[in-house]
């Protein structure tokens, strides 16, 4: 297969699956991982994708609100690994806020079923999926339903959150940068997350490699407002120093 044909197939794959891994492409096309990285670099220059550690994601993932069914396909192996570590932080009898991210939902799905917990969320999908777990007491946050993300938003949702107080909050973001902190794609999403953070004893950010050094439209809050970051991304020296300066504990999922 010619390089141009291989890159065309990679571009089609990432548009369909939303993310790709270097090692998987190497096996599929029977080429070296270095060859795949060169292909991804060229496709990134063409605006097709955004390279990440070990792979790439569709270039519009940071700025757009993907439908939930699409978000479920993006970096799920990484999200499940991160969730495995995050779930260990949940204690018996705790009340937890989770946002409408697939990352936060994965955390709750991996909590030891011997632990009885209460989960408060604005995610319609989370309510549907977690309703089958007998050890979870579910509280749904009402408001205006966003048909794209299947989550409830708006002033009513924000007021609802303020009536509760959680032991921990698990959430994700569209992007995080050292210059702007944590960001999301829309003001309504950022507002809800800031209310959850304000009404939680401890806040835990669960993010995969694709979210680092990315910007989005609205800043949620400064990074020093959170307590812990859990990621599979091997942070470089600058990111380690950044979180240390912000007083944020880092857990590397590996």
Q: Report the range of poorest mean pLDDT among 18-27, 123-132, 160-169, 228-237.
A: 18-27
Question: Residue 62 has what pLDDT?
Answer: 47
Q: Are residues 72 and 18 in the same domain?
A: no
Count how many Cα atoms sit within 13 Å of the Cα of residue 162 in the half-sphere of its side chain: 8
- The reply to whether 108 falls in a domain is yes
Residue indicated by tokens 């699409």: 70
Q: For the residues 125-147, what does the mean pLDDT come to?
A: 93
Question: Rounded mean pLDDT of the chain?
Answer: 90
CA angle 67, 183, 198 (to 5 degrees): 105
Tally the residues of the chain.
254
Rounded CA-CA distance 189/84 in Å is 25
pLDDT tens digits, one per residue of 151-196: 999 899 999 999 999 999 999 998 899 988 999 888 888 899 999 9
Q: Are residues 47 and 77 in the same domain?
A: no
- The reply to whether 84 falls in a domain is yes
More confident residue, 63 or 87: 87
Question: Residue 49 has what pLDDT?
Answer: 81
- The reply to whether 63 falls in a domain is no
Q: Are residues 37 and 80 in the same domain?
A: no
Rounded CA-CA distance 249/225 in Å is 12
pLDDT tens digits, one per residue of 32-84: 999 999 999 888 877 778 788 788 877 655 445 555 555 555 678 899 999 99
| Closest by Cα among 249, 214, 252 to 232 | 252
* Residues near 234 by beta carbon (within 8 Å), at least 6 away in sequence: 53, 252
CA angle 55, 58, 59 (to 5 degrees): 110
Which CATH number covers residue 40?
A: 1.10.10.10
Q: For the residues 219-246, what does the mean pLDDT come to?
A: 95
Which CATH number covers residue 224?
A: 3.40.50.1360
pLDDT tens digits, one per residue of 142-153: 999 988 788 999
Number of domains in the chain: 2
Q: What is the pTM of this model?
A: 0.76
Q: Report the range of poorest mean pLDDT among 106-115, 134-143, 148-157, 225-234.
A: 148-157
Q: For the residues 9-23, what does the mean pLDDT come to?
A: 85
Which pLDDT band holds residue 110 (cuts at 50, 70, 90)?
very high
Q: Are residues 209 and 101 in the same domain?
A: yes
Residue indicated by tokens 């190497």: 26
């Amino acid at each position: 297969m010619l390089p141009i044909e291989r890159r065309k197939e990679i571009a089609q794959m990432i548009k369909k699956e939303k993310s790709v891994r270097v090692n998987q492409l190497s096996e599929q096309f029977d080429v070296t991982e270095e060859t795949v990285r060169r292909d991804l670099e060229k496709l990134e220059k063409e605006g097709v994708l955004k390279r990440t550690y070990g792979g790439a994601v569709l270039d519009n993932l940071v700025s757009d609100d993907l439908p939930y069914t699409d978000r479920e396909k993006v970096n799920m192996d990484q999200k499940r690994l991160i969730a495995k570590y995050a779930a260990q932080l949940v204690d018996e009898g705790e009340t937890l806020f989770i946002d409408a991210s697939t990352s936060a939902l994965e955390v709750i799905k991996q909590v030891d079923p011997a632990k009885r917990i209460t989960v408060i969320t604005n995610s319609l999908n989370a309510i549907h999926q977690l309703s089958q777990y007998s050890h979870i007491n579910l509280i749904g946050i009402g408001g205006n339903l966003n048909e794209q993300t299947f989550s409830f938003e708006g002033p009513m949702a924000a007021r609802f959150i303020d009536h509760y107080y959680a032991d921990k909050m698990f959430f994700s973001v569209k992007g995080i940068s050292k210059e702007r902190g944590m960001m999301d794609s829309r003001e309504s999403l950022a507002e809800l997350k800031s209310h959850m953070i304000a009404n939680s004893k401890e806040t835990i950010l669960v993010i995969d490699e694709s979210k680092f050094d990315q910007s989005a439209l609205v800043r949620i809050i400064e990074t020093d407002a959170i307590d812990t970051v859990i990621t599979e991304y091997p942070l470089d020296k600058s990111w380690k120093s950044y979180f240390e300066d912000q007083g944020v504990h880092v857990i590397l999922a590996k």
